[in-house]
Amino acid sequence: MSKSFYKNSIFYKKYLGPAFKRKQQKQENFVSLVFLIIKICFSLIAIISLIKLGYSSKVRLTRLREIQDSFSHEKYRFNVFTSRFDDLFSSEGEQRFMKDQDQIISRDIIRVIWR
């Protein structure tokens, strides 16, 4: 007997057909579940990576801001010291320097000024 006879028979339609369809449906559901789990895992990895990237960018920007503030402060100090040094070589710069030194020394210390 041919295979088509078995497929068209009442026995196949009644008992083997639905069982095969259920088995095939279970396999499709299993494969769909596996792919869904893989998609969820990849989504979690992407979200965690974005969070880590955002945090490291925030830390980097904070450090760069600190460095910029420190540079600005040191640049200001450099300009002040440069102008004070240039004042030494101007007319009567030595006298102004001595007056500044008097203000820096505290009052209870003996001062000796060589002229």
Residues 91-105: pLDDT tens digits? Answer: 776 677 666 665 555
Position 104 in a domain: no
Position 115 in a domain: no
Position 91 in a domain: no
**Structural domain tally of the chain?**
1
Say what the pLDDT of residue 47 is. Answer: 98
Sign of the torsion formed by the C-alpha atoms of 22, 27, 29 and 30: positive
Position 65 in a domain: yes
Range of the domain at 10: 3-79
The DSSP letter of residue 20 is H
Separation CA 109–CA 106 (nearest Å)? 6
Give the list of residues 6+ apart from residue 105 with CB closer than 8 angstroms, or none: 111
Say what the pLDDT of residue 12 is. Answer: 61
Q: How confident is the model at residue 90 (pLDDT cuts 50, 70, 90)?
A: confident
| pTM for the whole structure | 0.51
Exposed/middle/buried for 96, CB within 10 Å: 0-12, 13-18, 19+? Answer: middle
The DSSP letter of residue 90 is S
Position 58 in a domain: yes
